[in-house]
Amino acid sequence: MTPRSTLPNGVALFTKRLKAQALALGFSKVGVARAERLTTEEQHLLNWLARGYHATMGWMARTAEKRTHPEQLLPGAKSVVAVALNYDTPPRHTDTPGVAKISRYAWGDDYHAVLTEKLTALLDWVRAERPEAHGYLAVDAQPAMDKAWAVRAGLGWLGKHGNVITREFGSWVFLGELFLDIELEPETELVPDHCGVCTACLEACPTKAIVAPYVVDARRCISFATIESKSETPEMDTHGWVFGCDVCQDVCPWSRFRQPTTEPRFAPRAGMVAPTFEELAALTPEDFKRRFAGTPVVRAKYRGLKRNIAAAQGGVVSGGAGPSGPDASSRPPGSREQRRVKAVQ
Ligand code: B12
Ligand code: SF4
Ligand code: SF4
């Protein structure tokens, strides 16, 4: 690591101006890390993959090397500008019977678009100031470890529930990065782990998906089952969630520090916070497009959402949450679960 004193003249000032620009663009937090290989994180990632915790997300395994080697994303990468954008809004989830739960991260516009737009504007600013600079943007979908960079750039710490927590906004922040091939001044102070002896998230997770502190087994996670999984039937009882899950974050004591977002595009769209199962079940493919276009919910597709609605309504139980839950084909023909699944195909 280059000590601060050996950084070329003007680097500290430029870093300060760049951070001010990021905040002016609306990011809630910004920090800088040196673009080094993520060695410790790589070991954790490889262990996670070896245990099969990525479920059917084969793309996580295929891109593992890129995720931990910044120079494979941007040749000559020297610095990583990590950003966080608060997405919390005042409504709270309800357990009212007949009401479906959609994760709050999906209530407004798709964050990929919002963060990418802001990061592009930040890169444009950098290029206007330093025309020799090149950049690479990452927001979730690119093969970068968003949480690791956020921690290394001093934005927060990795909570035992597997999300990065900030002191100012709790964990209700989206993360992204701008990789640059120019020198910036990295943070020297990281945020220490403030989880302490707390284990609220591990205890509250309805499917026991947090298999050890900081480690989430996607095969047990409702978020995976309702968003990423392509299986015809949900792998588990999804406890009323039809898209994503917020339980581990809602119970976190650091969520007390949540603040309403200043990003208007994250304001909940109509019918997102507490839709009834009845209205969701009645949606046609056209209704689905109209209602969810531009939100993260489109990732589940019409078919996936219908599958999730049927599961959450009926409380499909696969003999216990977990990787080996049977799918519809292994349930007795004509069983309640199988009939329900057939009904939404
Ligand atoms: C794959 C993925 C998932 C998977 C796996 C979740 C997971 N925790 O990894 C599934 C589909 C389950 C998922 C769900 C969700 N996701 Co997601 N997901 C991702 C993705 C694409 C990759 C994450 C990854 O690399 N996982 C692999 C593991 C190995 O990486 P890791 O957790 O960083 O690994 C660390 C730990 O394992 C830890 N570790 C392991 N052992 C030990 C031991 C000790 C002692 C310690 C200290 C640490 C430690 O060290 C590792 C290195 O840092 C990122 C985007 C991205 N490109 O990074 C978004 C991302 C993590 N997801 C995000 C969100 C919002 C969610 C949900 C909240 C959505 C929802 N409401 O339903 C849930 C939360 C579920 C949860 N409790 O984690 C946000 C999180 C924002 C934040 N504040 O952290 C991200 C960053 C997207 C973004 N750009 O904003 N997600
Ligand atoms: S998102 Fe839900 S299912 Fe996944 S780890 Fe958190 S509480 Fe458990
Ligand atoms: S609930 Fe407790 S253990 Fe879990 S992330 Fe929050 S502070 Fe850490």
Per-residue pLDDT of the chain (345 residues; tens, 9 = 90+): 445 557 788 999 999 999 999 999 999 999 999 999 999 999 999 999 999 999 999 999 999 999 999 999 999 999 999 999 999 999 999 999 999 999 999 999 999 999 999 999 999 999 999 999 999 999 999 999 999 999 999 999 999 999 999 999 999 999 999 999 999 999 999 999 999 999 999 999 999 999 999 999 999 999 999 999 999 887 789 999 999 999 999 999 999 999 999 999 999 999 999 999 999 999 999 999 999 999 999 999 999 999 999 988 775 444 333 333 222 222 222 222 232 222 222
Specify if 52 maps to a domain: yes
pLDDT at 343: 26
- Considering only CA atoms, which residue is closest to atom 25 of ligand 1? 145
Specify if 50 maps to a domain: yes
- Considering only CA atoms, which residue is closest to atom 90 of ligand 1? 174
Specify if 193 maps to a domain: no
Q: Are 16 and 112 in contact (CB under 8 A)?
A: no
Specify if 101 maps to a domain: no
Out of 116, 145, 180, pick the residue that ends a domain.
Answer: 180
216 CB near ligand 2 (under 6 Å): yes
Specify if 19 maps to a domain: yes
Instruction: Say if residue 136 is in the same domain as residue 20.
Output: yes
pTM over the 0.75 mark: yes
pLDDT at 3: 53
252 CB near ligand 2 (under 6 Å): no
- Considering only CA atoms, which residue is closest to atom 4 of ligand 3? 201
Instruction: Say if residue 124 is in the same domain as residue 8.
Output: yes
Instruction: Say if residue 16 is in the same domain as residue 153.
Output: yes
Instruction: Say if residue 282 is in the same domain as residue 134.
Output: no
Q: Report the alpha-carbon distance of residue 76 to residue 145 in Å, rounded.
A: 18
pLDDT at 315: 52
Q: Report the alpha-carbon distance of residue 296 to residue 272 in Å, rounded.
A: 11
Q: Are 263 and 85 in contact (CB under 8 A)?
A: yes
Q: Which domain holds residue 69?
A: 4-92+106-180
Task: Output the CA 8–ligand 2 centroid distance in Å.
Answer: 45
Q: Are 70 and 243 in contact (CB under 8 A)?
A: no
Ligand with minimal distance to 200 CA: 3
Q: Which atom of ligand 1 is nearest to the CA of 216?
A: 8
* Domain total of the chain: 2
pLDDT at 308: 95
* DSSP, res 305: H
Which segments of the chain are extended strands (E)? 29-34, 79-86, 101-102, 135-138, 157-158, 164-165, 173-180, 210-212, 215-216, 241-243
Residue 72 in 3-state DSSP?
helix
pLDDT at 125: 98
Ligand with minimal distance to 243 CA: 1
Instruction: Say if residue 166 is in the same domain as residue 211.
Output: no
Out of 180, 209, 244, pick the residue that ends a domain.
Answer: 180
Out of 118, 150, 180, pick the residue that ends a domain.
Answer: 180
Query: Hey, what are 166's tokens?
Result: 């900030």
Instruction: Say if residue 206 is in the same domain as residue 282.
Output: yes
Instruction: Say if residue 171 is in the same domain as residue 231.
Output: no
Task: Output the CA 124–ligand 3 centroid distance in Å.
Answer: 37
pLDDT at 4: 52
- 196, with CB counted inside 10 A (0-12, 13-18, 19+), is exposed
Specify if 190 maps to a domain: no
Q: Are 108 and 11 in contact (CB under 8 A)?
A: no
Q: Are 266 and 295 in contact (CB under 8 A)?
A: no
Residues known to be catalytic: 140
Task: Output the CA 216–ligand 1 centroid distance in Å.
Answer: 8
Instruction: Say if residue 168 is in the same domain as residue 134.
Output: yes
CA 56, 57, 63, 65 dihedral sign is negative
Task: Output the CA 267–ligand 3 centroid distance in Å.
Answer: 26
Q: Report the alpha-carbon distance of residue 136 to residue 158 in Å, rounded.
A: 24
Round to the nearest angstrom and report the end-to-end CA distance of the chain: 56
- Considering only CA atoms, which residue is closest to atom 8 of ligand 2? 205
Instruction: Say if residue 59 is in the same domain as residue 122.
Output: yes
- 282, with CB counted inside 10 A (0-12, 13-18, 19+), is exposed
Integer CA distances (angstroms), 110 to 22, 106, 267, 270, 293, in order: 20, 7, 11, 15, 9
